């Protein structure tokens, strides 16, 4: 004689629901509740997620990269790694400057993370050796919006160099900033614009001048100072003395001395042209 198998708890529940007339009603109610949940759940195309980062820049004028690494980057890394919620600490040491990047764990509130970071940096000033010329740290907060969304690389098949490509890049910056919703546009890897002064040793010797004389003349001419205020009835107008050297023509026409009763210009002893400064980074 065969006995019917014994059902467990799940089997008995399933048999009860299969035979119960309320089962279709419960199924329809569950389906409707799911639709309501989908409709009322907030949705964003770009949800705001707390991904807090910050760059800490510490100047150390005149120090080589090795000293910057040993005296600034390593000690400050240890201090920053003690902040609650920090995930990674990176550092870049270069001559005269240390740049440290602090990345917090995803989900740490941005305001709380920055407050803890500022407190840790400025309440532990003894991490740096005293009287060595280490400057005050500069904290620049960053977030998920600071991550580049699009990058463009410029190249040339002809003889155009980095200076000409930099001019094209700066022109593109102006156009891209007009796009609605653009937050920031910047160029990396481009040499800075500069006025190149190539001295003529023969002419310098003929006029009895040394390169140090020209450096002093350039430094003295490129100075702007506050000379006080001009007081008028009911108003005060600030007065400045001097002007910045704006382009290559102004540098070329700079008076560096007198020769036989006439002004001696910088163009008389050097060739001046527009160019680029020595590159500080490559891409």
Band (pLDDT 50/70/90 cuts) for residue 4 is low
Mean pLDDT of 151-180: 84
Rounded CA-CA distance 131/9 in Å is 79
Average pLDDT of the chain to the nearest whole number: 82
Q: What's the confidence (pLDDT) of residue 45? A: 67
Structure-model confidence comparison of residues 142 and 11, the more confident one? 142
Structure tokens at 110: 């941005």
Q: What's the confidence (pLDDT) of residue 145? A: 66
Rounded CA-CA distance 22/20 in Å is 5
Q: What's the confidence (pLDDT) of residue 7? A: 66
pLDDT in tens, 47-82: 667 788 899 999 998 888 888 999 999 999 999 999
Burial code (b: 16+ CB inside 10 Å, e: under 16) for 235-273 equals: eeeeeeeeeeeeebebbbebebbeeeeeebbbbbbbebe
Residue of 185, 189, 193 whose CA lies nearest to 167: 193
Q: What's the confidence (pLDDT) of residue 247? A: 78
Backbone dihedral angles phi then psi of residue 263, each to the nearest 5 degrees: -65, 140
Q: What's the confidence (pLDDT) of residue 43? A: 75
Rounded CA-CA distance 67/90 in Å is 17
> CA 269 from chain center: how many Å?
40
Q: Which residues contact 128 (CB under 8 A, 6 or more apart)?
A: 58, 71, 72, 75, 76, 134
H or E stretch at 230 = strand 225-232
**Alpha carbon distances (Å) from 190 to 31, 65, 98, 209, 218:** 59, 22, 21, 35, 25
Q: What's the confidence (pLDDT) of residue 254? A: 83
Q: What's the confidence (pLDDT) of residue 48? A: 67
Are the beta carbons of 60 and 134 closer than 8 angstroms?
A: yes
Rounded CA-CA distance 86/119 in Å is 14
Would the pLDDT of 124 be above 60? yes
User: 200-209 long-range contacts, Cβ below 8 Å, gap at least 24?
Assistant: 200/269, 200/270, 200/271, 203/268, 203/269, 203/270, 204/269, 207/257, 207/259, 207/264, 207/268, 207/269, 209/256, 209/257, 209/269
pLDDT in tens, 245-279: 777 888 888 888 877 778 888 888 888 888 777 76
């Amino acid at each position: 004689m065969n006995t019917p198998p014994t059902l467990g708890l799940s089997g008995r529940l399933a048999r009860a629901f299969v035979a119960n007339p309320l089962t279709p009603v419960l199924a329809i109610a569950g389906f409707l509740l799911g639709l309501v949940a989908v409709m009322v759940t907030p949705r964003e195309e770009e949800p705001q997620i707390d991904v807090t980062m910050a760059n800490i820049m510490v100047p150390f004028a005149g120090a080589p990269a090795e000293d910057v690494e040993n005296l600034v980057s390593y000690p400050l890394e240890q201090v920053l790694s003690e902040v609650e919620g920090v995930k990674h600490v990176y550092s870049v040491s270069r001559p005269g400057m240390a740049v440290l990047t602090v990345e917090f764990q995803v989900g740490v509130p941005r305001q709380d993370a920055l407050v803890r970071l500022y407190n840790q940096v400025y309440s532990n000033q003894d991490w740096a050796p005293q009287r060595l010329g280490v400057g005050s740290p500069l904290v620049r907060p960053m977030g998920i919006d600071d991550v580049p969304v699009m990058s463009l690389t410029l190249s040339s098949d002809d003889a155009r160099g980095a200076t000409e490509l930099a001019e094209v890049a700066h022109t593109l910056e102006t156009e891209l900033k007009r796009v609605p919703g653009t937050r920031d546009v910047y160029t990396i890897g481009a040499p800075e614009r500069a006025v190149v002064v190539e001295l003529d040793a023969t002419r310098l010797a003929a006029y009895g001048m040394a390169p140090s004389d020209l450096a002093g003349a350039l430094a003295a001419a490129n100075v702007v100072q506050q000379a006080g205020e001009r007081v008028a009835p009911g108003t005060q107008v600030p007065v400045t003395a001097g002007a910045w050297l704006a382009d290559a023509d102004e540098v070329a026409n700079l008076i560096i001395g007198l020769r036989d009763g006439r002004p001696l210009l910088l163009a008389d002893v050097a060739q001046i042209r527009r160019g680029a400064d020595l590159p500080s980074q490559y891409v």
